[in-house]
Chain A
Amino acid sequence: MYKRFALLFLTLCMVMSVMAGAVCADTGKEAPMLAEQVAAGTLPPLEDRLPVEADVYVETEYTPEETPSYGGTIRTNNGGMWYFGPNAEEPLFRLLDDGTVEQNVAKSYDLSDDGLVYTIHLREGMKWSDGTPFTATDCVYYYNYVLVTDVDNETGKVTKSNAGRYYNWYMTADENGVMRPAQVRYVDDQTFTITLYSPKPTLLQAIAIDNKWMFCPKEWYKDIMVNDASAAHWSGESDLKLIGGEGLPTITEEQALANALAKSELYNFENAAKLGDQLGYRYWQYAGRPTLRPWNIVSPLTDQTLVFVRNPYYWKVDAEGRQLPYIDTFEYVSMDASLYAQEKIAGNLDLVRFDAADFPIYKSSEAIGNYTVYTDIIPSWANVSFEFNQGYKDPQYRELFANLDFRHAVSIAVDREEVNEILYNGMMTPAQFAPAAGTAEYIEGGPEKWIELNVDEANALLDGIEGISTERNSDGYRTFVGGEHDGQAITIEFETRADAPNDAQLVALLAKYFKPLGLQIVESNNTDNNARNEKYYAGDVYMAAVNSSSGSFNVMLRPDAVAANRNNCAFIGKYGLEHADAMTPEPGSAMEEMVNATKALISASKLEDMQAAAARIVKSHYDNTWVIGILASNKTFDAVANRVHNYRDGFVSCDELRFLGNTRPYTWFIQD
């Protein structure tokens, strides 16, 4: 009896191992799912899909130690477009941890001696995910027709704020000091040039950080982008010359909308601006739009689970010549943030990112959930912080927020140790918002400034501020004196993020800490992060935020999160230069120095000037504590299923390096 059973068992094992072997031990150069299509004749063979051999991108650095297998699905939470976007991002040049760039979509570049003309070389035979060729036309078209759409012919100034939306990497000062957009020109199918008005030593980094996708499929866009061919182009040149081919058809707004809708039901937009914004800028959310990415979305954005499937024309191979990526499918499941941990533990998510707050639960459940906790490095100034919108629309609140004593008072009213214990399991250290010791931008005493708890001093500071009362109303709050809000309690609303339950708790704690100061704190919860971001973009509709600014990876290369530039930087608010109707700071104010330093950084054409401007920005933070830091830690964590291989422990995770994208997900593979 037992013998027979054992025999059966053995046979079963053998059958299974043979089957498993059939899946794992494939030595093919492409994924089985693609090989099937090739065999069926629905897809060209691999060599026709890759760029010419000399131009294929060979990924050597991240080659796994074990033999990788193709296939499988990775399932993670849907953290919004800025979570699933960067995971599969392919920029023209890729920014590296040390601040330099390397080849990516572009094969190489040449720089003229005067530092004004960049010649970019592309890969021959490279294709969009729908199989159409990717050429220099696509880059030139993108720049001239999608990115820079409305420039004044006379002055060369960008008139529509659409362009201001992105960090204006292409704006340089001409001989008269007027900022003018670069000229981007077609040379041949594998070559285009970028011509500047004055040198910009960090141009490639700027492109790598701020305009990663400096290309789009022209053929796909030409009849859905509004184009008034009768009017002269902003650069004064004909379409023909710009994009190196035949001219573009005339497309009215109605035609554009109709054509888009004809392409797919998913492209149902109410106006051309929306269409341009969604399909041109946030394109990776829309199924059917060809990309150069390793995985493309195939499901409508409304689906609960967004599915990204491999790009058969992906142009990277590993050291052995196998086409990347290894993993077939990425799934992003929408769910309430409170469910992440349990779904991770239950094994329904392969990857979840979390911070110190949840560390004990994830770490304790590693064995149950069959996953490993990895630690990532984040180059932050502070992980836990809060800040007030300096550009808030209400003048009385704006004046209060602008008062340094006010910020000093609230900073020393926070019991940092307690926040650490309650919210972060004591895993962080109390710190002000400043570059950490050991970094190039470090200022002596920066992280330690104003972090000693002293409620009495805080109250004394507030008592000294004009325009607010020293005595409290019946609820125990200070009120405004004079002005529109005369007699009303000072009530500050903090925006919190959807997927960060700790935000709400932090606000609750702040409310407790500020109650003795006589300040009322309320929380404004946003269930989806887009909603919060939109408020930031509007600049003047939110009052204050928690855990919004985390600092900068490198102020010179990426000032946005700490300088007066962006329209989504919480403390800057409407002072952000990207706002079409940006506020002008009062002469002589601290904010003016911040704005001027930012302007200096943007317009600098020499490396030293840039460094000097960056230092001014850091100093402004040191002097003004624009953002009030609470705790710092340079760590964040990932819980990754054990079946996912070739994941990197200790990688640097930040926006500039595209978060998880910095681990190059196309080199991950799954082995059950």
Chain B
Amino acid sequence: MGLFKSKNNTHSDEKKSDKYYYASQWGLMARKFRKHKLAMGSTFVLVIFYLTAIFGNFIAPQGTEQYDGKFVNCKPTPVHYFHEGKFVGPFVYGMKTERDPVTFMAQHVEDREKICRIKFFTQGDPGGEYKWLGLFPSNLHLFEAEDGGKIFLFGTDNMGRDLFSRVILGSQISLFIPVVGMLLTVVLGLAIGSLAGYFGGWIDTVIQRLIEVVRSFPQVPLWMALSAAIPKTMKPAQVFMLMTIILSLVSWPGLARVVRSKFISVKKEDFIMAARISGAPGSKLITRHMIPSFLSYIIVDMTMSIPSLIIGETTLSFLGLGLRSPATSWGVLLQETNKLETIMFYNWKLIPMIFVFLSVLAFNFMGDGLRDAADPYK
């Protein structure tokens, strides 16, 4: 009604209520989001995960291709601080491998005589070389046990590879495929959805049919079918790219549909009308006015879609349809847990599951927090 027009409050002091009232949309979102403790905690966890992944080669003691045939299926090595009551700092005992004479089960026992201190910022063994961010060659690793001591924080797998290293290196795939896939999805979904929504007419009809066709495919089987077609000789990097393309190929229609309908509804709103009448060109209209008007929605939606992409990648790799060993991802690592006896005898191999679980949960909670924050009515 415009009865009372709001003006800058000349008497305004720094009261909570004022901030609450006058903050911009984004500021308001940030404020609300910060109040969502679970979402904040999740964001923190995710930041740590991603940092760990980025510095993965440095943090992981072993590279993807390194292994030690003498320590197959070795349980996690305990890190000690005290030897016979004396503090010596972090160290592990040396390890001996014995086989049970009847069952031939390997037993890795600590050699209490031999103390291997843990050194930090050391040059790794040959084979541990890496290029940080694919650019800077290095073999610097966060920690290593002295005197040939073995330190397997999460134990080893059936090839004698350090599971801790593989979990961290695997996160480079498992955490980045979903994000890259999601970005691709956003680009595709936004482009196609806004085309359909903005122009309407036959373009809209064609795109709608296309969306309907792609949406008719059950997600997981389609992923499976497409991944199965990836040639086996491909390098991990290429497989990675293909996987992201496959994942996004299947998930763009959902976003495109939403973008399209948002476009149609936003198109009718006054401020777009005004911009259009004032002669703003179409592209400017889309990028300056229309997309920002539902950007928050897209961010929320995309955050919420990452968990299913993480699960998708993990599942495909688990089924042997995605990445293959020695390239590693959490799904590849979980391949070994397909057996009951693995869980019975080597339960530490389930550790990667915790990471899948945590990251999915964290993205879910973060998405929830974002959604609550973006929703002005809550």
A and B touch in the complex (CB under 8 A): yes
Within 8 A of B (CB), among A436-491: 475, 491
A421 at the interface (CB under 8 A from B): yes
Contacts of A395-431 to chain B: CB distance below 8 A: 415, 417-418, 421-422, 425-427
| Chain B interface, DSSP helix/strand/loop, else mixed | loop
CA distance A309 to B65 in the complex (A): 50
* B103 on the A face (CB < 8 A): yes
CA distance A360 to B72 in the complex (A): 13
Enumerate chain A residues within 8 angstroms of B340, measured Cβ to Cβ: 341-342, 345-346
A525 sits at the interface (CB 8 A): yes
Contact B339 A421 (CB under 8 A): no
A52 at the interface (CB under 8 A from B): no
In the complex, which residues 31-80 of chain B have their Cβ closer than 8 Å to any Cβ of chain A?
A: 65, 67, 69-70, 72
CB <8 Å contact, A422 and B72: yes
Contacts of B149 in A (CB 8 A): none
0 or 1 for each of B307-346: is its CB under 8 Å from A? (1 = yes):
0000000000000100011100000000000111100110
A421 neighbours in B (Cβ, 8 Å): 69-70, 72
Residues of A contacting B7 in the complex (Cβ-Cβ under 8 angstroms): none
Question: Please, what's the 1-or-0 string for A305-344, where 1 marks a CB less than 8 Å from any CB in chain B?
Answer: 0000000000000000000000000000000101101100
B99 touches A426 (CB 8 A): yes
Q: For A364, what are the chain B residues with a Cβ–Cβ distance below 8 Å?
A: 100, 103, 105, 345
Least CB distance, B183 to chain A, in whole angstroms: 28
Q: A502-528 CB contact bits vs B (8 Å, 1 = yes)?
A: 000100110110000000101111000
A422 touches B69 (CB 8 A): yes
Contacts of A533 in B (CB 8 A): none
Q: How many residues of B contact A (CB 8 A)?
A: 28
Flag if A425 contacts B339 (CB, 8 Å).
Answer: no
Contacts of A524 in B (CB 8 A): 232
The answer to whether the Cβ of B233 comes within 8 Å of any Cβ in the partner chain is yes
In the complex, A422→B104 CA distance in Å?
Answer: 12
Contact call A360/B103, Cβ cutoff below 8 A: yes
Given known contacts A360-B105, A363-B103, A525-B320, is B233 in contact with A508 (CB within 8 Å)?
A: no
**In the assembled complex, B235 has its CB within 8 A of some CB on chain A:** yes
CA distance A56 to B324 in the complex (A): 57
Instruction: Determine if B104 and A425 form an interchain contact, defined as CB atoms under 8 angstroms apart.
Output: yes
Other-chain residue from A338, A356, A511 in contact with B338 (beta carbon distance below 8 A):
A338
Please determine whether B233 and A522 come into contact, CB atoms closer than 8 angstroms.
yes
B325 touches A342 (CB 8 A): no
Within the complex, the shortest CB–CB distance from A73 to chain B, in Å, comes to: 23
Residue in B closest to A420 when the chains form the complex, CB atoms: B69
Chain B proximity of A227: nearest CB distance (Å): 43
Inter-chain contact count A-B, CB under 8 Å? Answer: 74
Cα-based distance from A493 to B232 in the complex (angstroms):
9
Known: A338-B339, A341-B339. A360 touches B69 (CB 8 A): no
Given known pairs A339-B339, A421-B70, A421-B72, the reply for A360 and B65 (CB within 8 Å) is no
Number of A residues with CB within 8 Å of any CB on chain B? 35
- Asked if B106 contacts A360 (CB within 8 A), the reply is yes
Interface membership of A361, Cβ < 8 A: yes
Interface residues in B143-159 by Cβ distance below 8 A to A read 158-159
For the complex, is A162 an interface residue (Cβ under 8 Å from B)?
no
A422 neighbours in B (Cβ, 8 Å): 69, 72, 158-160
Contact A345 B341 (CB under 8 A): yes
A365 within 8 A of partner (CB)? yes
Q: Name the CB-closest residue of A to B338.
A: A338
Contacts of B69 in A (CB 8 A): 415, 417-418, 421-422
Contact of A651 with B by CB under 8 A: no
**Contact across chains for B104 and A359 when beta carbons are under 8 A apart:** yes
A360 and B100 contact, Cβ closer than 8 Å, known pairs A339-B339, A422-B69:
yes
Complex contact A360–B325 (CB within 8 A): no
Contacts of A491 on B, CB cut-off 8 Å?
233
Contact between A425 and B106, CB atoms less than 8 A apart: yes
- Over the window 93-104 of chain B, the binary record of Cβ atoms lying under 8 Å from chain A Cβ atoms (1 yes, 0 no) is 000000110111
What is the minimal beta-carbon distance from A337 to any residue of chain B, in angstroms?
Answer: 10
Residues of B within 8 A of A525 (CB): 320
Also in contact, A342 and B105, with CB within 8 A (given A361-B345, A422-B160, A524-B232): no
Please measure, in the bound complex, the distance between the C-alpha atom of A363 and the C-alpha atom of B325, giving whole angstroms. Answer: 28
A425 to B101, CA, bound (A): 11
User: CB-CB < 8 A to A427: which residues of B?
Assistant: 104
**B 98-122 contacts with A by CB, 8 A:** 99-100, 102-106
Determine the residue in chain A with the shortest Cβ distance to B345.
A361
B229-241 Cβ-contact flags toward A at 8 Å (1 or 0): 0001101000000
Report the Cα distance A364→B67, complex, angstroms: 26
In the bound complex, what is the Cα–Cα distance between A360 and B158 (angstroms)? 13
**Known pairs A364-B103, A512-B65; A342 contacts B72 (CB<8 A):** no
Residues of chain A within 8 A of B325, CB atoms compared:
508
Q: A508 vs B332: C-alpha distance in the bound complex, in angstroms? A: 14
Q: Taking the nearest CB of chain B, how far is it from the CB of A497, in angstroms?
A: 14
**Distance to closest chain A CB from B178 (angstroms):** 26
What chain A residues lie within 8 Å of B158 (beta carbons)?
422, 505
Q: C-beta contact mask, B283-300 vs A, less than 8 Å → 1, else 0?
A: 000000000000000000
**Which chain A positions have C-beta within 8 A of B160?**
422
Residues of chain A contacted by B320 (CB below 8 angstroms): 525
A399 CB to nearest B CB, Å: 21
Nearest CB of A to B236, in Å: 11
Q: How far is the CB of B58 from chain A (nearest CB, A)?
A: 23
Contacts of A359 on B, CB cut-off 8 Å?
A: 103-104
With CB as the reference atom, state the residue of chain B lying closest to A502.
B158
> Complex Cα distance A257/B253, Å?
48
Nearest-neighbour CB distance to chain A for B127, whole angstroms, equals 10
Shortest CB–CB separation between residue A351 and chain B, in angstroms? 17
C-alpha gap A197/B325 in the complex (Å): 57
Chain B proximity of A496: nearest CB distance (Å):
11
A111 to chain B, nearest CB (A): 50
A511 to B67, CA, bound (A): 13
CA A229 to CA B160, docked complex, whole Å: 67
How far, in angstroms, from A509 to B232 measured CA to CA in the complex?
Answer: 17
Are the C-beta atoms of B102 and A508 separated by less than 8 Å? no
Which of B103, B105, B235, B345 has the largest count of A CB atoms less than 10 A from its CB? B103
**Pick from A336, A341, A418, A505: contact of B341, CB under 8 Å:** A341
- List residues of chain B with CB within 8 A of the CB of A417: 69
- Which B residue's beta carbon lies closest to that of A509? B159
- B residues near A336, Cβ cutoff 8 Å: 338
Q: How far is the CA of A493 from the CA of B324 in the complex (A)?
A: 14
Q: Specify which chain A residues have a CB less than 8 angstroms from the CB of B70 in the assembled complex.
A: 421
Shortest CB distance B181–A (Å): 25
For window 253-276 of A, CB contacts with B under 8 Å fall at: none
Chain A residues closer than 8 Å to B326, beta-carbon distance:
508, 511-512
CB-nearest residue of chain B to A360 = B105
Shortest Cβ gap from A371 to chain B (Å)? 14
Most buried by B among A336, A365, A422: A422
Centre residue among A360, A425, A508, A524 by max chain B CB count within 10 A = A360
- Among residues of B, the one whose C-beta sits closest to the C-beta of A364 is B103
Q: Which of B99, B159, B232, B341 has the most CB of A within 10 A?
A: B341
Contact at A508–B72, with CB atoms within 8 Å? no
Contact: A363 with B232, CB < 8 Å?
no
Among A342, A493, A505, A522, contact of B159 (Cβ-Cβ < 8 Å): A505
Subset of 30 A-B contacts with CB under 8 Å: A336-B338, A338-B338, A339-B339, A341-B340, A341-B341, A345-B340, A345-B344, A346-B340, A359-B104, A360-B104, A360-B105, A360-B106, A361-B105, A361-B341, A363-B102, A363-B103, A364-B103, A365-B344, A421-B72, A422-B159, A422-B160, A425-B99, A425-B104, A425-B105, A425-B106, A508-B159, A508-B325, A512-B326, A522-B232, A524-B232
> Which 10 residue pairs of A and B lie closest in terms of their CB atoms, listed nearest first?
A342-B340, A360-B105, A418-B69, A363-B103, A425-B104, A364-B103, A422-B69, A341-B341, A360-B103, A421-B69
Known: A345-B344, A422-B160. 17 other contacts (CB 8 A): A338-B338, A346-B340, A356-B104, A359-B104, A360-B104, A363-B102, A363-B103, A365-B341, A365-B344, A418-B69, A421-B69, A421-B72, A425-B106, A508-B326, A509-B159, A523-B324, A524-B232
